[in-house]
Amino acid sequence: EPARLEDLALLGGPPLFDRMLYVGRPSMAPDAEVHARIQSALDRRWLTNDGPLVQELERRCGERLQVPHCIAVNNATLGLEVALRALGVQGEVLLPAFTFIGTAHAVQWLGLTPVFGDVCDADHGLDPAEVERRITPATGAILAVHLWGRACAVEALEAIARRHGIPLILDAAHAMGCGHAGRPLGSRGTVEVFSLHATKGLNALEGGLITTGDAALAERIRLMRNFGIPGEDQVRCVGTNAKMNEFSAAVGLANLDHFDDLCVHNQQLHAAYGAALAEAPGLRLMQPEPGQAFSHHYIVLELLPTATLHRDQLVSLLRAENVYARRYFRPGCHQAEPYRSRPGGPPVLPVTERLGQTLLQLPSGLQITPEEAHRLGRRLAWCLRHGDAVATRLPRMA
């Protein structure tokens, strides 16, 4: 515990950690296991185009997610694009503004029109009441996000989509290892799309998975992933190149062998942060949905109105301590280009705008031990307990 303000690294003390801790630092299987799988691809001289490692990854992830069809792609953004295209979505797509910009860009890139709604305070997912308010005959699909791996309001959103006869696409980029209603996420809505990006809990360097129970849709997705080519000398429809390569699948498979252990480690980190922050005034640590599987990959803090420091002041304090905390997601998509410059200007979305000002994410994964997480939590708690004094020594925040 710092005894004096000057013990904080930003005010001249030594940093809490002797190396930088990052949000998004990849957790990797032992090098030898990664190398062995990559070597197997080299030995086969089969490097991409639906290779054996990609097929193995699809099979194992499909089993794990308890979903009949699991199709690997080269990233989740293209995965969303291929899913939207394979569903023949036209016109407007209703989605939350509080998400990674890639969710919105996938829609815009296809020449569809993203229509932004606000999110629920409780789970940071698309608010069904907002969907009801904004849905029109021009709405071609609903695209909701399981943010931080917590299920969005899937039951309500499925009901709205069914009533309007439109598909529900779920951005499950964060949701590997996470469940809802006693099952893994991945089989809700019409189709779900996971990310296997390096910063994700299960990583394949770059990659994604599209999951669905609809066999005909799965077949269209497989075709579109590979230029619309079903086999030699045939082209059945328009397609793109959304194929995962064998090196990515090799990394994904090696990491999959250790993924359950990683989730346990992350749960221990979450508990250590939670214990240290229990007494911190004005701050809430995001909790999983009770009783459901959770990866704890995202450690998300929310600064409450009673907090003595602004979120950005905490981020500066942490950077000096060698903790690269992040401020996902700001600005909200509605306030990012090209959307903010659309005629009529961006809608006012109070929850999205507040969360963009008050959330921060802390490091997780193998780079940090539970003991270190506890130390970091205690430093944060100390700063908040002495927030009034700390604030007088920091540059003024807007």
What residues from 25 to 64 belong to the interface with ligand T4K (CB under 6 A)? 25-26
- Please list, in sequence order, all residues whose beta carbon lies within 8 angstroms of the beta carbon of residue 222, skipping any fewer than 6 positions away: 71
Nearer CB in complex with ligand T4K: 116/308? 116
Q: Is 301 exposed, middle or buried (0-12, 13-18, 19+ CB in 10 A)?
A: buried
Can you name the residues that pair with 114 across neighbouring β-strands? 93
76 binds ligand T4K, rule: CB under 6 A? yes
Give the footprint of ligand T4K on residues 295-324 (CB under 6 A).
324
73 binds ligand T4K (CB under 6 A): no
- What is the DSSP secondary-structure string of 205-259? SS-EEEEES-HHHHHHHHHHHBTT--STT---S---B-PPPHHHHHHHHHHHTTH
Q: Is residue 366 part of the contact set for ligand T4K (CB under 6 A)?
A: no
Q: CB under 8 Å to 29, separation ≥6 — which residues?
A: 251, 254, 255, 257, 258
Taking the least distance from each CB to ligand T4K, the nearer of 154 and 381 is 154
CA torsion, ordered 299, 300, 301, 305, to nearest 10 deg: -170
Cis omega (within 30 of 0) for bond into 331: yes
Residue with tokens 């515990």: 1
Q: Is residue 167 at the binding interface for ligand T4K, with CB under 6 A as the rule? A: no
- Pick from 87, 112, 173, 299 the residue near ligand T4K by CB under 6 A: 173
3-state SS class at 73: strand
Query: Considering only residues 29, 57, 61, 77, which one is a binding residue for ligand T4K as defined by CB under 6 A?
Result: 77
Distance CA(126)–CA(120), nearest Å, equals 6
Residue number, 87 or 390, with CB nearest to ligand T4K: 87
Give the residue with the Cβ less far from ligand T4K, 81 or 381: 81
CB of 219 to ligand T4K, least distance (A): 23
Query: Phi, psi (5° rounding) for residue 21?
Result: -105, 130
Annotate each residue in 124-153 with x if it binds ligand T4K (CB under 6 A) or - if it does not, as one string: ---------------------x--------
Of 26 and 282, nearer to ligand T4K (C-beta) is: 26
Q: Which of 374, 385, 323, 359 is CA-nearest to residue 10?
A: 323
In the complex, the smallest distance separating the C-beta of residue 75 from ligand T4K, rounded to whole angstroms, is 4
The stretch among 110-118, 170-178, 227-235, 247-255 that binds ligand T4K (CB under 6 A) is 170-178
Window 80 to 109, contacts with ligand T4K (CB under 6 A): 99-100, 102-103
Q: Does 352 interact with ligand T4K (rule: CB under 6 A)?
A: no
Residue with tokens 């005959």: 137
Q: Which stretch binds ligand T4K (CB under 6 A): 17-25, 152-160, 368-376, 389-397?
A: 17-25
Q: How far is the CB of 172 from ligand T4K (least distance, A)?
A: 9
Characterize the bridge pairing of strands 113-117 and 92-96: parallel
Minimal CA–CA distance to 58: which of 196, 154, 201, 240? Answer: 196
Of 288 and 387, the one with the shorter C-beta distance to ligand T4K is: 288
User: Is the CB of 28 or the CB of 271 nearer to ligand T4K?
Assistant: 28
Q: How many residues bind ligand T4K (CB under 6 A)?
A: 23
Q: Which residues sit at the interface with ligand T4K, rule CB under 6 A?
A: 22-26, 75-77, 99-100, 102-103, 145, 171, 173-174, 195, 197-199, 208, 324, 328
